């Protein structure tokens, strides 16, 4: 194809990296002297594992396993990991490593889909606010754990009359509930006894002390000062770790990416020695395994979405981290290491969680099914409650919330790196020598954007982000990513690019990956997109459904604007050069689909 002045205008919007003075994030030994590279391969592996292993591995996978047949759930989970998780992770990592660009500039290969990269960054920006708040929650609970007894271990001065560790039994006298009812030396007939469910101390502490939760989204209330301070500390920690980009965060992850495994193993060893631990483990993945669940479509759908979300595919982070690899790095082997480690972490965390929940059920003399909660309820209500029943409970609580802190920080590191990398790739002359300033400014802006999430109505906004932003939008982005790379850019062309990095591979080697990229993965993604009505069924979200639609509409608008701009620019430029006789119609067609 003939060369013509395409880049001159595009560079005004997304400048290609130019050769400028070496910035603080580039070392003399780096292969890529413009962007820098990971100092060692282990830094990339640990950073990617830390990014992939998120809070969902700890509080979502165990719940899904028990809900969908226990041990039987591992069958669809690992099937989905093989047919969609590993292939998509490999695709995204290879794409980022080959182009050595962030999630926006990388789509110069397929200009018509450059809006996909912008949408990825926008999603990451909003989710980074969410993760920052979760880190703040973890910091607050970790600091609160330096007390004995733990402040949520009983109904103290902050509690109301509904606080109780066990349900109160009342007598239904003429339709009126009376507690401790006696009359003429008689007791309440068993047929009239009613168990009144009350809030546990940990639940009231979460609502009344930690969050100071308001009645709804329309009652914002003031900023909760202790959470504001924890949010400030969270932003400071992230900014300090990323002050030199991957050069500094690569050193931090040696601790933050490995410490969670130490804590999980410690909690597992402690948990299995407790009375009732066996009941919890059997409930999670043992005797209650139900193979008949495998015939239900919802089980396979949950397995697919959990595999997808736990690997953080479609966020832009995998692509960004891989873009700092050396060109000939074996990204194929790295993809297997990260994905299998991520899956193993989910299973291992489930044992640690349910062994202690089983002990809690034994203490309360309740079935495990009534103890188990999902999401925030597991991390900040059920599990802290269980830890408060252990000897030396402050120690176990500190370890648990410090683990949540490190898991959240690893994910936040990658999220901020996505944002700053895109800015550095777009404006290298402006930001290359100001990496520290860019990082601190980004963290400061995210802190300000996070303040509404730590008001008394903040938990509703956090739930909105969790349910609406990080939901089926990511599946759509991943689907467009597959279409762009495999169908528009060209699957065979992409395979040749990978072979430039890894060396020549046989046709048999690529047969499986072609099958997954072209057929299996796209079909599963389309089938896995949840319906809008499933979100509306959540009573907590009904009050905020309209606000959720506005958040999602902003993403669609941003994608549409950038997409429309690219289409307009490509068509008008191509037609212009065609009319001048400088290109043929076949060149116009190639330009439109494959880029310059």
pLDDT digits (tens, 9 = 90+) for 127-178: 999 999 999 999 999 999 999 899 998 888 888 888 877 655 555 555 544 5
**Sign of the C-alpha dihedral, residues 310, 313, 319, 320?**
negative
d(CA 98, CA 94): 6
Task: Report the top-level CATH class of 14-157+202-594.
Answer: mainly alpha
**Residues contributing to the annotated binding site:** 50, 52-53, 57, 310, 342, 410-411
Which DSSP string do the residues of 495-528 spell out, in sequence order? HHHHHHHH----HHHHHHHHHIIIIIHHHHHHHH
Nearest to 246 by CA among 16, 45, 501: 45
**Sign of the C-alpha dihedral, residues 125, 129, 130, 136?**
positive
What's the predicted TM-score (pTM) here?
A: 0.81
The length of the chain is: 596
* Percent of residues, the chain, with pLDDT higher than 90: 44
- Judge contact between 114 and 10, C-beta under 8 A: no
d(CA 421, CA 437): 13
pLDDT digits (tens, 9 = 90+) for 44-94: 999 999 999 988 888 888 888 888 877 888 899 999 999 999 999 999 999
pLDDT digits (tens, 9 = 90+) for 4-22: 333 433 343 333 333 334 4
pLDDT given at position 370 = 76
Q: Which residues contact 471 (CB under 8 A, 6 or more apart)?
A: 530, 535
**Residues contributing to the annotated binding site for Na(+):** 50, 52-53, 57, 310, 342, 410-411
Query: Domain-by-domain residue ranges, the chain?
Result: 14-157+202-594, 168-198
pLDDT given at position 167 = 58
Mean pLDDT (whole number) for 355-379? 81
């Amino acid at each position: 194809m003939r060369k013509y002045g395409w880049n001159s205008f595009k560079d005004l919007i997304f400048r290609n990296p130019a050769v400028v003075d070496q910035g603080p994030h580039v070392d003399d030994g780096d292969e890529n002297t413009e962007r820098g590279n990971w100092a060692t391969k282990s830094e990339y592996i640990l950073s990617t594992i830390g990014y992939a292993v998120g809070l969902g591995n700890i509080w979502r996978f165990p719940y899904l396993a028990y809900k969908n047949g226990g041990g039987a759930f591992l069958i669809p989970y690992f099937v989905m990991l093989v047919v969609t998780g590993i292939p998509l992770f490999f695709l995204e990592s290879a794409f980022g490593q080959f182009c050595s660009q962030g999630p926006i500039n990388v789509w110069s290969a397929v200009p018509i889909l450059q809006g996909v990269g912008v949408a990825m960054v926008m999603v990451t920006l909003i989710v980074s606010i969410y993760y920052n708040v979760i880190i703040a929650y973890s910091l607050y609970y970790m600091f609160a754990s330096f007390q004995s007894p733990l402040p949520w271990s009983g109904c103290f001065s902050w509690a109301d009359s509904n606080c109780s560790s066990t349900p109160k039994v009342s007598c239904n006298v003429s339709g009126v509930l009376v507690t401790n009812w006696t009359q003429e030396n008689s007791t309440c007939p068993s047929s009239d006894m009613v168990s009144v469910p009350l809030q546990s101390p940990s639940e009231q502490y979460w609502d009344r002390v930690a969050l100071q939760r308001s009645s709804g989204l329309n009652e914002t209330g003031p900023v909760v000062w202790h959470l504001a301070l924890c949010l400030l500390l969270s932003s400071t920690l992230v900014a300090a770790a990323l002050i030199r980009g991957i050069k500094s965060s690569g050193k931090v992850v040696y601790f933050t990416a490995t410490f969670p495994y130490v804590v999980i193993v410690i909690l597992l060893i402690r948990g299995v020695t407790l009375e009732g631990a066996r009941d919890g483990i059997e409930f999670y993945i043992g005797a209650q395994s139900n193979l008949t669940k495998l015939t239900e479509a919802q089980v396979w759908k949950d397995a697919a979405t959990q595999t997808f979300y736990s690997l953080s595919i479609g966020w832009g982070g995998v692509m960004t981290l891989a873009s700092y690899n050396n060109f000939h790095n074996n990204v194929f082997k790295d993809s297997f290491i990260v994905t299998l480690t991520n899956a193993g972490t989910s299973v291992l965390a489930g044992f640690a969680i349910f062994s202690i929940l089983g002990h809690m059920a034994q203490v309360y003399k309740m079935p495990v099914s009534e103890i188990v909660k999902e999401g925030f309820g597991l991390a900040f209500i059920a599990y802290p409650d269980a830890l408060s029943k252990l000897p030396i409970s402050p120690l176990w609580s500190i370890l648990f919330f410090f683990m949540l802190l490190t898991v959240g920080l690893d994910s936040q590191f990658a999220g901020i790196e996505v944002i700053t990398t895109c800015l550095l790739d777009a404006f290298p002359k402006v930001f290359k020598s100001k990496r520290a300033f860019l990082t601190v400014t980004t963290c400061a802006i995210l802190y300000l954007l996070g303040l509404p999430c730590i008001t008394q109505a903040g938990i509703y906004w956090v739930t909105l982000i969790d349910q609406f932003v990080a939901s089926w939008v990511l599946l759509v982005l991943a689907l467009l990513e597959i279409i762009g790379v495999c169908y528009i850019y060209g699957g065979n062309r992409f395979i040749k690019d990978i072979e430039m990095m890894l060396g020549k591979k046989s046709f048999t080697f690529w047969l499986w990956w072609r099958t997954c990229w072209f057929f299996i993965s796209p079909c599963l993604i389309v089938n896995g997109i949840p319906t809008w009505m499933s979100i509306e069924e959540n009573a907590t979200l009904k009050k905020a459904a309209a606000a959720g639609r506005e958040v999602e509409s902003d993403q669609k608008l941003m994608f549409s604007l950038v997409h429309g701009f690219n289409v307009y620019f490509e068509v008008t430029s191509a037609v212009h050069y065609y009319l001048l006789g400088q290109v043929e119609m076949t060149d116009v067609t190639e330009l439109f689909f494959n880029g310059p």
